[in-house]
């Protein structure tokens, strides 16, 4: 005979199975390739760096590889990290570097830490002596998946010349809900969040101001 306690336990784990257990899930951003809808200055070199300035990362509440939450069962959350195990900022740098390389740039990835001062970040870029320098600043990136996917982000892009003079600066920011899956939310999130990441990079890189600055 099934007792009430056993029934509750079975129902609890049944909900977890239906909603996909969130434990151990990661998101792959390094395979992202943004479609750049123009040809930058072929043969020129470009340095790319990303400075993670998310408040929870700066305060040490979240690891630099943290990219959001997944929830299972009755909404109990688990943290989700990058598939690479590297800081989210490094994944962004690599994705942009590969995307620019496909358009003819000789790319110099520059990896900086979230706790580096801004002067240290720009000096690291200066060392590459690049024709153009792309500095991304992550001010917000938070995903939260239960059935549907919540995504809030704010990313700034600055293009600097050889002397680190700012040629263009833009931001992309949004809070939105992405349709997920009742039956398998983690799989939907693993697909949809990197896709949203790609779209955000395309918005930034294809902006008219950025396009002009990269020539």
Residue 8: per-residue pLDDT = 39
Which residues have C-beta within 8 Å of that of residue 117, sequence separation ≥ 6? none
Residue 18: per-residue pLDDT = 39
> What own/partner pairs with CB < 8 Å and gap ≥ 24 does 181-184 have?
181/20, 181/147, 182/18, 182/19, 182/147, 183/18, 183/20, 184/20
pLDDT-derived band at 183 (thresholds 50, 70, 90) equals confident
Cα 172 from Cα 206, distance rounded (Å):
12
- pLDDT per position as a tens digit, 9-37: 333 334 443 333 444 489 999 999 999 98
Residue 178 has pLDDT above 70, yes or no: yes
Paired residues of 81 in beta bridges? 26, 66
| Selected residue with higher pLDDT from 51 and 3 | 51
pLDDT-derived band at 185 (thresholds 50, 70, 90) equals confident
Residue 41: per-residue pLDDT = 63
- pLDDT per position as a tens digit, 54-96: 999 999 999 999 999 998 766 678 899 999 999 999 999 999 9
Angle between helices 185-205 and 88-101 (to 10 degrees): 60
Q: Mean pLDDT of all residues in the chain?
A: 87
Please state the pTM of the whole predicted model.
Answer: 0.86
Tally of domains within the chain: 1
Neighbours of 148 (CB within 10 A): 16
Q: Dig out the tokens for 46 from the structure.
A: 């470009």
State the CATH number of the domain containing residue 147. Answer: 3.40.50
Closest CA to 29 of 79, 69, 66, 84: 84
Cα 152 from Cα 162, distance rounded (Å):
33
Q: Dig out the tokens for 18 from the structure.
A: 């239906």
User: What secondary structure letter does DSSP report for 64?
Assistant: T
Residue 200 has pLDDT above 60, yes or no: yes
Range of the domain at 208: 4-213
């Amino acid at each position: 005979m099934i007792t009430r306690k056993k029934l509750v336990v079975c129902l609890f784990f049944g909900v977890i199975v239906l909603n996909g257990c969130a434990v151990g899930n990661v998101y792959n951003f390094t395979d992202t390739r943004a479609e750049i809808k123009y040809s930058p200055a072929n043969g020129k070199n470009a340095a790319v760096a990303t400075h993670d300035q998310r408040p929870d990362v700066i305060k040490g509440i979240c690891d630099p590889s943290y990219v959001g939450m997944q929830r299972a069962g009755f909404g109990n959350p688990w943290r989700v990290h990058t598939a690479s195990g590297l800081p989210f900022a490094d994944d962004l740098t690599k994705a942009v570097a590969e995307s620019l390389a496909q358009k003819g740039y000789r790319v110099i990835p520059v990896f900086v830490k979230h706790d580096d001062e801004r002067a240290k970040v720009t000096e690291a870029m200066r060392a590459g002596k690049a024709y153009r320098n792309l500095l991304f600043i992550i001010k917000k990136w938070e995903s939260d998946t239960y059935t549907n996917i919540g995504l809030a982000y704010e990313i700034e892009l600055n293009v600097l010349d050889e002397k680190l003079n700012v040629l263009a600066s833009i931001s992309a920011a949004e809070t939105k809900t992405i349709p997920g899956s009742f039956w398998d939310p983690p799989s939907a999130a693993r697909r949809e969040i990197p896709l949203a990441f790609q779209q955000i990079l395309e918005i930034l890189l294809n902006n008219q101001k950025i396009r002009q600055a990269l020539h």
